[in-house]
Amino acid sequence: MKVTDILLIIINFAGSLALFLFAMKVMSEGLQKAAGSRMRSVLGRITGRPLSGIFTGMAVTAAIQSSSATTVMVVSFVNAGLLSLSSAVAVIMGANIGTTVTAWIITLLGLGESSGYFSLPLFIAAASLLFLFRKHDKMKSVGQTIIGLSLLLVGMSFLKEAMPNLGDYPSLLHGIASLGDHGFWSVMLFVLIGAALTCLVQASAATMAITLLMLHNGWIGLDMAVALVMGENIGTTITANIAAMVAGTAGKRAAKAHLVFNVIGVLLTLILFRPVLSLVQFVFPTNAPMALSFFHTLFNVMNVGIQSWFIPQIVKIVTFMVPEKAEDSDSNDYKLTYISRGPVSTAELNLQNAKHEIKLFSKQVLCMYAMLPELRKVKNTEEMDAAVGRIERYEQLTDRMDMELTRFLVAVGGAGISDSGSERIGSMIRISDNLESIGDSILQIALTRKNKYADAVHFSDTQNARLAEMSDLVEKALLVMDDNLAEYDRTDQVTKEGIQAAEDAEREVNACRDRLRVNHIEALKQGKYGYDIGNAYSSLFAQYEKLADFIINVSEAAVCRGL
């Protein structure tokens, strides 16, 4: 075989594989958009019973055609405390069964001689949907899914053509065949190869397609193909573990549970390797690809059936593997709490968790505002510096929260999101920006108080009472905003009563500001206080009113059209 022939084979194969991976991505994203936030709400309603989690994992994975996406979602749910570790293990078990649908699609549609003929009619159907329903998000998502399936069939067709005929290269055929001549050690070797390939490609569907083609073309026997599939089940766990690298202890444990479950499953199957292989060959004696797809399903169903009785023990194992770790509350590296980032595109489904981050952001702002009254009670400079220092640290936290959340939302917006999803992203970015501005305003109020204290500027009882009234009205507006964001988190929209309450609170703040301004001008005319006191006083009530402007902006952004 010439070097140029080898290079040509590699280039053709790599290009075909890239098309296949792209097709899987398009199809999965289309399914995610069509499913919308319902997939996450389904996960959120899981009961404590293992059967509930298993069936949920199966349904979600079959619906979005990506076990990795399901597992990454599970990691984020566990990390945020929305899902128990035992429920997460059950969902992961179900996801392993749900992912076997992909193998059947490839086997039934992608390996036949006429597989390429299906792609053009599917593409025409998808194009028709996109043209006829170009303003309908759900139908556009269905069209994207069909395009992904069409491209997947084209990719499979190209992969088949890119696979060389080993009959033309007897030495290479002999070399591959010799790898399967060492009994149990050959099985172990192919398990390791399958795991390594899946880790490298980061898509078990792609390595499954390659395995099916190798079996279909006679490169390997069914026993070695089965070993590759077992290895692929281990390799696919790397995705969730990468996503869990930035997660907390609970999220890391959920990712490790995926690995433990699949490793135990492989070990059990290795013990029963020959009986299981005989059963598969008995069911499909002449059709090797169908036999392999059947094994893939049998392997996962069998492991779930056995290991579902030992979920508490799996939880104990992963708890031992990932011990409890004290979180460093003073860390400067803020990480998103509800969103796990990984190499899998779960853009549409992660919007719900982005709303959870916004809800947490609002709580941080409320805590920050609650620190302002302490500044009126300090007895010395040290206490003032300490109180303002706490507010400054919170303000730095709000800056990091806004930066991380905006960075994530911008990345999601560039991932082929639906029109409604894009509008929701724009709304969330505006909310995050205004929450960060609220944090800035609170810090400015604190610094004004600090400067007033340093300059020995003292307000009269009347001024203090009026500022306290202004402060209470702003706090009321903040609480209304927080209630509106809680409703936004639950239902994707703020009620008419909620936005009316926000507008009423804003009007009350403005009316109070107007009264204070009139009284302030009159007091200056009458010489009741000097310039220094007057300047600090007017600066404070103006800053409170500016803060209230950002507060109403948050509620208005949450009722953006289409949310």
DSSP assignment of 127-175: HHHHHHTTT-HHHHHHHHHHHHHHHHHHHHHHHHHHS--GGG-HHHHHH
Structure confidence at residue 453 (pLDDT):
84
Task: Please give the full DSSP string across 206-235, using - where no structure is assigned.
Answer: HHHHHHHHHHHTTSS-HHHHHHHHHHHHHH
Q: How confident is the model at residue 561, as a pLDDT?
A: 44
Under 8 Å CB-to-CB from 402, ≥6 apart: which residues? 361, 432, 433, 435, 436
Helix (H, G, I), strand (E, B) or coil at 49: coil
Residue 80 CB contacts under 8 Å (≥ 6 apart), including other chains: 337, 338, 353, 356
- pLDDT at residue 352, as a whole number: 72
Do residues 145 and 173 share a domain?
no
Q: Determine the pLDDT at residue 330.
A: 41
Phi/psi-derived region of residue 428, left when phi > 0, alpha when psi is between -120 and 50, beta in every other case: alpha
Q: Do 66 and 16 have their domain in common?
A: no
Give the model's pLDDT for residue 414.
66
CATH number reported for the structural domain that contains residue 469 in this entry: 1.20.58.220
Domain count, the chain: 3
Q: Both 154 and 239 in a single domain? A: no
Q: What residue numbers bound the domain in which 441 lies?
A: 347-558
Q: Are residues 400 and 446 in the same domain?
A: yes
Q: Are residues 175 and 243 in the same domain?
A: yes
Is the domain of 275 the same as that of 421? no
Per-residue pLDDT of the chain in tens (563 residues, 90 and over written 9): 567 877 887 888 888 888 888 887 788 777 777 665 566 566 656 656 788 889 888 988 887 767 777 787 787 777 766 678 898 899 999 999 988 988 888 888 777 655 556 777 888 888 888 878 777 777 888 888 888 888 888 888 787 777 766 555 555 555 665 676 677 888 999 999 989 988 887 778 888 888 988 888 888 889 999 999 999 999 988 877 876 776 678 888 988 999 999 999 999 999 999 999 999 999 999 899 999 999 999 999 999 999 999 999 999 999 999 987 654 444 444 566 666 555 545 556 667 778 888 988 999 899 999 999 888 888 888 989 999 999 999 898 899 889 888 888 887 776 566 677 788 888 899 999 999 999 999 999 999 988 888 888 788 888 889 999 999 999 999 999 999 998 887 777 788 898 999 999 999 999 999 999 999 898 888 888 888 888 888 999 899 999 999 999 999 888 754 34
Domain boundary among 123, 144, 162: 162
Q: Give the largest Cα separation in the chain, rounded.
A: 106
Which of these three, 341, 374, 409, is where a domain ends? 341
Domain boundary among 144, 162, 180: 162
Asked whether residue 513 is domain-assigned, the answer is: yes
Q: Are residues 221 and 287 in the same domain?
A: yes
CA dist., res. 333 & res. 335, Å (int)? 6
Amino acid at 200: L
> Domain check: are 88 and 138 in the same one?
no
Collect contacts of 163-168 with beta carbons under 8 A, ≥24 apart: 163/13, 163/213, 163/214, 163/217, 163/219, 164/9, 165/217, 166/217, 166/218, 166/219
Given a contact cutoff of 8 angstroms between Cβ atoms, the answer to whether 362 and 435 are in contact is: yes
Same domain, 300 and 393: no
Number of C-beta neighbours around residue 395 at 10 A? 20
Task: Check whether residue 368 and residue 444 sit in a common domain.
Answer: yes
Burial class (CB within 10 angstroms; exposed 0-12, middle 13-18, buried 19+) of 176 = middle
Residue 276 lies in a domain: yes
In this structure, the answer to whether residues 18 and 91 fall within a common structural domain is no
pLDDT of 303 reads 94
| Domain-embedded: residue 220 | yes
- The answer on 121 and 20 residing in a single domain is yes
What secondary structure letter does DSSP report for 374? G
Asked if 71 and 95 touch (Cβ cutoff 8 Å), the reply is yes
Quick one: DSSP state of residue 376?
A: G
Say if residues 307 and 90 touch (Cβ distance below 8 Å).
Answer: no
Confirm if 251 and 75 have CB atoms less than 8 A apart: yes
Number of Cβ within a 10 Å radius of residue 9? 15
563 domain-assigned = no
In this prediction, residue 296 carries a pLDDT of: 94
Rounded to a whole number of angstroms, the CA Rg of the chain reads 30
Phi-psi region of 527 (alpha: psi -120 to 50; beta: other; left: phi over 0): left
Is residue 158 situated within a structural domain? yes
Give 494's contacts (C-beta < 8 A, 6+ positions apart). Answer: 484, 487, 488, 555, 558, 559
Q: What is the pTM of this model?
A: 0.68
Write 386-391 long-range contacts (CB < 8 A, 24+).
Answer: 387/446, 388/446, 388/447, 388/449, 388/450, 391/442, 391/443, 391/446
